């Protein structure tokens, strides 16, 4: 059996390699590559890599990605391996494919600014990312032979941010833009903060010399980026515990990472942060917009939902402003395998479906006048649990009803409001023994924690668990969950992590088996009773009323902590249970709250205090989840 399996794999790999070789040969025979410095209005020149079809029988659209992550490989005879990507489809369609190093990164001139603010009132030679895009498109339309006068822009994550800015340029040739997992607001919901809580694991890895030092300045163009020093310890829980407070992590940044200093200097949602909200650039958008995101994106889950929402509100009546959300980790929709996320299977290749049914038809229609877009609904959402694509005329869906599910005594969760006069659960949150975000030992943040089994956390005394009885019918949630927690704490500040979990039946399971080790028991994961994380979010308690004006807690006083979790689309199947877990640390994903009201960014390890935290489920103080139930 194993020999046959290995033989089949060898044949599959051989055919794949032959197909890749054929595609690479075709691309090189049918395209040529040039590299140009494109001048901006202020005289700065941006390095641009351009792949142009040799075919002169027709006109070709231009598709652009602007990136801080490099146009590599450099050199007109060095080609990016597009033939190993779905983007090879664009070459087959005859697109002029363009990648540009943004201002101050890699081979481009100028000074790089993280999430450079959009300037709606530019004058003269003033620039921002929108104007840089405008100037790039203007040059490409005038100077690249054989173009049809139509341009599109797309990009994932940081290039998604540049895509949003590109849309705001409103160049007349720019017909279609697809911001994908776009960095949108680094204080409220993307990458480095969620509701004001600092996501230290990603920030340290992104900016420090340990992880590669993204923010190191490039005073002159260079094809060489900073090298990673490497981490002194490969157990991230141990590393961050021993590092102590946030100010001790600053030593790993050196003196040159300006944005780290900005992070430390702006603990609250002030004017500096507000200027860097990409939603500022979503007014009067002329291009067709296709926003794309992943339901299980550990980096920019918030951005796509909320940038799309802002574009809807800021452009009433806009003909084409749509969203696609699939069951993906960060950028999985651009990969070849969208069949699963960690242990959770989707029953089909959702990435391939997205590429063929949404993205490629979108650009073909608006840039080539080819095909139609009737199949692209307002909201195109993959509903996990049910494992099917659904089309909606709006998001959240019109047939969504907000229903209240209450926390109850004895770990219960149901639709009835509690009637007890006095009822609460209590746990002690100890910053020196924080709840891990993931069970295994590793250094880099995992992407699978977004669907990981939460049984490890449910066993801890500092994690509260509430669950329904076994469901007698399917329940589909589509939209934002609101956590409305009534709490009292013994200190003056605390964090609150709320998780929405799908508990699989005890008897349900399948073998997660490595294809080369079919009978290896270590490759089998027990799915019976699996506690699938569907959505989780953190709220830094001091921001419960305002991001701009944080407030202390009064020890012992019952207060409301109410916040929104990013949209979900999930069916809890009959026979499953809905579970809610509540805790006050999520480490080392998120930095530790000292649990006393102070400047966390300058706290010492000695400032960390234990906090006794009560979560109330009584008639007068009924903690609850407001769930978007599809009728």
What ranges make up the beta strands (E) of 424-494? 424-429, 464-467, 475-479, 482-489
Model pLDDT for residues 101-150, shown as the tens digit of each residue: 999 999 999 999 999 999 999 999 999 999 999 999 999 999 999 999 99
d(CA 357, CA 328): 16
The band of 1, judged by pLDDT with boundaries at 50, 70 and 90, is very low
The phi, psi pair for 425, rounded to 5°, reads: -115, 150
* DSSP structure string for 535-592: EEEEEEGGGSS-SSS--PPPTT--EEEEEEPPPEEEEE-TT-EEEEEEES--BTTSPP
* pLDDT exceeds 60 at position 272: yes
- Regarding the domain delimited by 2-185+276-392, which CATH topology (the fold level of the hierarchy) does it fall under? Rossmann fold (3.40.50)
The band of 573, judged by pLDDT with boundaries at 50, 70 and 90, is very high
- Spatial CA neighbour of 384 closest among 359, 350, 356: 350
Q: Tell me the average pLDDT of the chain.
A: 93
User: Helices 158-169 and 129-143 meet at what angle, rounded to 10?
Assistant: 70
Model pLDDT for residues 610-623, shown as the tens digit of each residue: 999 999 999 999 99
Give the architecture-level CATH label for domain 193-216+224-274.
Orthogonal Bundle (1.10)
* Residues ≥6 apart with Cβ < 8 Å to 352: 86, 336, 338
The band of 512, judged by pLDDT with boundaries at 50, 70 and 90, is low
pLDDT confidence of residue 2: 42
- As a whole number, mean pLDDT of residues 587-594 equals 98
d(CA 614, CA 238): 28
* pLDDT exceeds 70 at position 227: yes
DSSP conformation class of 449: G
The band of 507, judged by pLDDT with boundaries at 50, 70 and 90, is confident
- Map tokens 């069949």 to a residue: 339
d(CA 622, CA 349): 42
pLDDT confidence of residue 509: 64
Model pLDDT for residues 351-369, shown as the tens digit of each residue: 999 999 999 999 999 999 9
The band of 521, judged by pLDDT with boundaries at 50, 70 and 90, is low
Query: CA torsion angle for 276, 279, 285, 290 (degrees, to 10)?
Result: 110
Q: Where are the domains of the chain?
A: 2-185+276-392, 193-216+224-274, 400-630
* pLDDT exceeds 80 at position 161: yes
Give the global pTM: 0.94
What is the Cβ-side half-sphere exposure of residue 126, based on CA atoms within 13 angstroms?
A: 9
For 1-5, 315-319, 378-382, 525-529, which range has the lowest pLDDT when averaged over its residues? Answer: 1-5
pLDDT confidence of residue 564: 97
CATH classification of 400-630 is 1.10.10.60, yes or no?
A: no
Model pLDDT for residues 411-467, shown as the tens digit of each residue: 999 999 999 999 999 999 999 999 999 999 988 899 999 999 999 999 999 999 999
d(CA 223, CA 109): 12
Residue 152: helix, strand or coil by DSSP?
A: strand
Residue 317: helix, strand or coil by DSSP?
A: coil
Model pLDDT for residues 14-36, shown as the tens digit of each residue: 444 445 678 889 999 999 999 99
Residues 599 and 267: beta-carbon distance below 8 Å: yes
* pLDDT exceeds 80 at position 510: no
Run of H or E residues at 228: none
Higher pLDDT, 429 or 224: 429
- As a whole number, mean pLDDT of residues 50-57 equals 96
CB atoms within 10 A of CB 428: 13
Residue 626: helix, strand or coil by DSSP?
A: strand
* Residues ≥6 apart with Cβ < 8 Å to 396: 478, 479, 480, 567, 628
- Spatial CA neighbour of 391 closest among 376, 399, 380: 380
pLDDT confidence of residue 319: 85
d(CA 14, CA 75): 30
């Amino acid at each position: 059996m194993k020999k046959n399996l290995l033989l089949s794999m060898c044949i599959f790999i051989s055919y794949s390699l032959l197909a890749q070789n054929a595609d690479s040969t075709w691309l090189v025979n049918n395209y040529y590559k040039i590299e140009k410095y494109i001048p901006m209005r202020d005289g700065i020149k941006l390095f641009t890599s351009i792949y142009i079809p040799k075919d002169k029988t027709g006109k070709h659209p231009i598709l652009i990605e602007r990136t801080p992550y490099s146009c590599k490989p450099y050199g007109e005879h060095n080609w990016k391996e597009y033939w190993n990507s779905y983007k090879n489809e664009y070459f087959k369609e005859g697109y002029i494919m363009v990648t540009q190093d943004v201002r101050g990164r890699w081979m481009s001139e100028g000074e790089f600014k993280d999430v450079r603010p959009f300037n709606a009132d530019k004058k003269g030679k003033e620039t921002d990312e929108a104007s840089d895009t405008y100037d790039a498109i203007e040059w490409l339309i005038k100077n690249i032979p054989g173009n049809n006068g139509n341009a599109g822009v797309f990009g994932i994550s940081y290039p998604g941010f540049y895509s949003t800015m590109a849309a705001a340029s409103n160049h007349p040739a720019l017909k279609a833009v697809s911001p994908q997992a776009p960095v949108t607001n680094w204080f409220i919901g993307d990458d480095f903060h969620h509701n004001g809580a600092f996501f230290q694991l990603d920030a340290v890895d992104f900016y420090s010399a340990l992880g590669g030092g993204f923010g190191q300045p490039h005073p002159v163009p260079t094809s060489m980026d900073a090298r990673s020093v490497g981490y002194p310890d490969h157990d991230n829980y141990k590393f961050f515990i021993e590092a102590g407070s946030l100010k001790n992590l600053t030593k790993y940044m050196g003196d040159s990472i300006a944005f780290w200093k900005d992070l430390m200097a702006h603990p609250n949602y002030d004017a500096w942060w507000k200027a860097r909200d990409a939603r500022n650039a979503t007014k009067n958008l002329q291009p067709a917009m296709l926003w794309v995101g992943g339901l299980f994106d550990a980096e920019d889950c918030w951005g796509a939902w909320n940038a799309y929402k802002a574009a809807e509100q800021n452009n009433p009546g806009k003909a084409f402003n749509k969203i696609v959300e699939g069951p993906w980790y960060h950028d999985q929709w651009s990969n070849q395998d969208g069949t699963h996320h960690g242990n959770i299977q989707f029953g089909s290749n959702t990435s391939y479906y997205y590429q063929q049914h949404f993205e490629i038809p979108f650009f073909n229609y608006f840039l080539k006048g080819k095909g139609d877009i009737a199949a692209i609904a307002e909201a195109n959402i993959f509903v996990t649990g049910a494992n099917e694509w659904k089309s909606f005329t709006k998001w959240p869906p019109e047939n969504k009803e907000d229903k209240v599910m209450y926390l109850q005594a004895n770990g219960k969760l149901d639709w009835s409001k509690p009637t007890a006069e006095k009822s609460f659960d209590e746990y002690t949150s100890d910053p020196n023994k924080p709840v891990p975000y993931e069970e295994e030992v590793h250094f880099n943040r995992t992407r699978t924690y977004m669907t990981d089994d939460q049984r490890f956390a449910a066993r801890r005394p500092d994690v509260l668990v509430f669950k329904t009885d076994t469901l007698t019918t399917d329940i589909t949630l589509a939209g934002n969950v609101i956590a409305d927690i009534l709490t009292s704490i013994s200190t003056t500040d605390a964090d609150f992590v709320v998780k929405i979990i799908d508990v699989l039946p005890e008897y349900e399971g399948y073998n997660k088996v490595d294809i080369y080790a079919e009978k290896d028991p270590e490759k089998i994961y027990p799915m019976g009773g699996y506690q699938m994380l569907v959505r989780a979010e953190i709220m830094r308690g001091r921001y419960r009323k305002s991001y701009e004006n944080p407030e202390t807690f009064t020890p012992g006083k019952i207060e409301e902590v109410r916040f929104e979790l990013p949209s979900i689309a999930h069916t809890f199947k009959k026979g499953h249970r809905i579970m809610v877990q509540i805790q006050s640390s999520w480490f080392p994903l998120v930095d530790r709250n000292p649990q006393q009201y102070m400047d966390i960014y300058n706290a010492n390890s000695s400032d960390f205090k234990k906090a006794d935290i009560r979560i109330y489920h009584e008639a007068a103080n009924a903690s609850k989840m407001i769930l978007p139930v599809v009728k």
